[in-house]
């Protein structure tokens, strides 16, 4: 199910823990599917000197956190700001389709931690970061049931073919 790289990062996660004197902290969580992630940054001269994470979640959530810290470590924050969830997933040689939405939240936690750092620097309250919608597609694309792949009406509460509840996917 998981790639070798995912399993390697899951079995031997890098940069685990808390930075006591962190100057940027980002926490994201998804109570519905249950993954939670905290990123701690130690930034010196706008460069990520040290980064650590704590994660409550599945194999891919832990691997994502670990890979993210490897990508971000040593980067100036101007570059770290460009790191996306997709980039982390690609570095892990992909994640299962159904895990892309819920456990791939490492970059979100990092961006939140950077915003927290910047807010602290300016003496402001940290800004809220909004996670992307769980179900998204281009307006000109048709909408398909994620379970049985039959075409469905936008905003349909359940799939007429397989009866799957779609309310949570269409929020």
Partner 1 sequence: MKIINLDHISSKPLIPEVKQAMIDAINNDYANPSSQHKKGEQAADALAKARESVAGLLHAKTPKEIVFTSGGTESVNHAIKGVAWANAEKGKHIITTNIEHNSVIRSCKRLKSQGFTITSVSVDDKGRVDPADIAKAITDDTILVSVMHANNETGTLQPIEEIAKITREKKIIFHTDAVDSVGVMPFDVQKMGADLVSFAANTFYGPTGIGGLYIRRGTMIWPLLDGGVQEASKRAGTENLLGIIGMGVAADQARQHMNSRLVHLEKLKSKLITELPNHIDEYIINTPLDYSLPNLVSVSVKYIEGESVMLMLDDEDIAVSTRSACATGSLRASHVLMSIGLDHADAQGTLVICYGVDNTEEDITKFLGALQNIVVTLRDISPLYVKKH
- Catalytic positions: 33, 102
Q: How far is the CB of 1 from partner 1 (least distance, A)?
A: 9
Query: Which CB, 59 or 106, lies closer to partner 1?
Result: 59
CA distance linking residue 26 with residue 40, whole number of Å: 7
Query: Which CB, 18 or 127, lies closer to partner 1?
Result: 18
Q: How deeply is 151 buried, as exposed, middle or buried, from its count of CB atoms within 10 A (0-12, 13-18, 19+)?
A: exposed
Q: Please give the residue ranges that form the binding site for partner 1 (CB under 8 A).
A: 7, 10-11, 13, 16-18, 27, 31-38, 53-59, 61-62, 98-99, 101-103, 147, 158, 160, 163-164, 168
Q: How far is the CB of 76 from partner 1 (least distance, A)?
A: 27
Nearest partner of 168 among 102, 96, 109, judged by Cα: 102
């Amino acid at each position: 199910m998981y790639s070798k790289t995912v399993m390697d990062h899951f079995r031997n996660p890098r940069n685990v823990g808390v930075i006591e004197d962190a100057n940027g902290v980002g926490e994201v969580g998804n109570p519905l599917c249950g993954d939670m992630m905290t990123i701690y940054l130690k930034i010196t001269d706008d460069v990520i000197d040290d980064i650590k994470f704590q994660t409550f979640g599945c194999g891919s959530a832990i691997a994502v956190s670990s890979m993210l810290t490897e990508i971000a470590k040593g980067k100036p924050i101007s570059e770290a700001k460009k790191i996306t969830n997709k980039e982390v997933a690609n570095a892990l040689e992909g994640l299962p389709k159904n895990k892309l939405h819920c456990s791939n939240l490492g970059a979100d936690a990092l961006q939140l931690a950077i915003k927290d750092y910047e807010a602290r620097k300016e003496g402001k309250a940290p800004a809220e970061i909004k996670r992307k919608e769980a179900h998204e597609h281009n307006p000109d694309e048709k909408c398909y049931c994620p379970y049985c792949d039959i075409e469905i009406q936008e905003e349909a509460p359940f799939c007429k073919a397989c009866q799957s509840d779609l309310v949570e996917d269409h929020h």
